[in-house]
Amino acid sequence: MSSRLVRTFLIGCGLTLAGLAETPANFTVSGDWAVHVSAAGVRAQTVHVTPPAMVTVSAERYTNVPVYNPKGGGWMRGSQLSGVKAQETTSPGLLDADSFVLRTGPEPDSPALKKGVDYEIDLHWGTFGRLEGGGMKPDQTVYATYKHAQKRLDAVILAADGKIVLRQGTPHAAAPAPPQPGPNERHLGNIYLPGFIARLEPEHLFPILEHSYPEQPPVENATVQRIVKRLNSKQPVRILAWGDSVTDGVYLPDRFNQRWQEQFVARLREKFPQAKIELLTQAWGGRNTNSYLNEPPGSPHNYRETVLGVKPDVVISEFVNDAGLKPAQVEERYTRLLADFKEIGAEWIILTPHYVRPDWMNLTRERDIDDDPRPYVQGLRRFAATHDVALADASLRYGRLWRQGIPYNTLMLNAINHPNAFGMKLFADALMALFR
């Protein structure tokens, strides 16, 4: 096939020779629920989006409602309303606050319990609990009626007949996925409905600008060079994945195949088939590096026993729960960790964290967000460069997901910070980029 025919074929599939979108489509809001779509080689068209609908839940049964805990995370303050439930949490902002009624029976005329007297509710997170001294007994069955929104990701498709069509995604409380294009179709992008919104805004439009992260030439790093030398020497290489719940991955459907460390080591073994690689994991959900440092001897998460004590050759750390650290704190704490790893002869690769729910990052949108605003990430980059520690910059990949038509929080199974298998792959991609 001639090079011209190859290029023609790739353009027809919406690709370039580099794997990027060929003349990306342009999306423009043209009405409350209308989007004007223009793409090279086809007539510009307008697609009409079905507005998000409120789902009504009537007389939902709850038994043994716990006492309301105002000090817990919003998703842990009491019973979780099923309509807004994500994986192990609830999805905030989906409950219609004015619609919630709690009754003693399933009938519409059953006596209603009183908020602030019998029960309390976090209307943002959709969790409720009984109040001590109120009219709700510990073993009483109650019935909740409410309305809630859902999240949805619709796909804009260039069909085989040249028409631009909108295919509606399946609504979910968290992690909605877009419909996939069929044979001879081109996926132009997605339209994101993050809940009950009054109208479309530019921030809801996600045309596909690139099909994959633009890999950069690897930067020479002494740590990586030493690891590669060991992998090529056929000496045993013990890799310790050290982190929090994202490293633990207990929430994943296929944990021991989908976690970032399993994906990475599987690919590393393919690249270095002669290497003898052993993978260990030490992870503690909801904790950070300081949690490990403060655990007493004998604890299942004592740092000296369960991290240093297993004598890893390579430590790969992932701690999104360290994200509250300022650059100076990163320098102080991570310098201590580096000294410990050097003392036992271990190499260190630091993973920068993924993006978490927007408001936790002071973000107001999920597009045009290439630059991670967290001081912690800036501190990690500075620390790695100063100390010649290897840095696998997964944050950069998350920051460009919008260019691939993906609102990054749609990868979070708990609507907060637990990425799905594809999100885990981004960590493995960042690690493998060090070994190209």
- The structural domain count of the chain equals 3
Task: Please report where in the chains the tokens 């068209």 appear, as a residue.
Answer: 45
| Residue 3, in any domain of the structure | no
Q: What is the pLDDT of residue 7?
A: 34
Among 11-15, 266-270, 289-293, 381-385, which stretch is predicted with the lowest mean pLDDT? 11-15
| Residue 91, in any domain of the structure | yes
Q: What is the pLDDT of residue 13?
A: 36
Q: What is the pLDDT of residue 218?
A: 84
CA distances to 51, 150, 206 from 196, rounded to whole Å, are 8, 7, 18
Q: What is the average pLDDT across 91-118?
A: 97
| The token pair that represents 202 in the structure block | 């530019």
Distance CA 231, CA 240 (A): 15
Indicate if 138 and 46 belong to the same structural domain. no
Q: What is the average pLDDT across 338-347?
A: 98
List pLDDT tens digits, range 407-426.
999 999 999 999 999 999 99
Q: What is the pLDDT of residue 23?
A: 85
Does pLDDT of 378 surpass 80?
yes
Q: What is the pLDDT of residue 8?
A: 33
Indicate if 130 and 274 belong to the same structural domain. no
Does pLDDT of 324 surpass 70?
yes
SS3 content of the chain, % helix, strand, coil (to 5): 30, 25, 45
Give the structural domain span for 128.
55-148
Does pLDDT of 9 surpass 50?
no
Among 41-45, 60-64, 80-84, 302-306, which stretch is predicted with the lowest mean pLDDT? 41-45
Spacing of C-alpha 134 from chain mean position: 39
Q: Which of 184, 207, 230 is the last residue of a domain?
A: 207
Q: Name the residue among 241, 234, 252 with its Cα closest to residue 279.
A: 241
Indicate if 330 and 421 belong to the same structural domain. yes
Q: What is the pLDDT of residue 21?
A: 55
Burial 8-46 (b: 16+ CB within 10 A, else e): eeebeebbeeeebbbebbebebeeebebebbbeebeebe
| Residue 214, in any domain of the structure | no
Indicate if 234 and 376 belong to the same structural domain. yes
Distance CA 436, CA 434 (A): 6
Angle formed by the axes of helices 327-343 and 375-387, nearest 10°:
40
Distance CA 112, CA 115 (A): 9
Indicate if 132 and 252 belong to the same structural domain. no
* Mean pLDDT, the chain, whole residue set: 94
- Count other Cβ atoms within 10 Å, centred on residue 80: 19
- Give the total residue count for the chain: 436
This prediction's pTM: 0.92
Q: Are 86 and 410 contacting, i.e. CB atoms less than 8 angstroms apart? A: no
Q: Name the residue among 304, 329, 309, 311 with its Cα closest to residue 319.
A: 329
Indicate if 41 and 170 belong to the same structural domain. yes
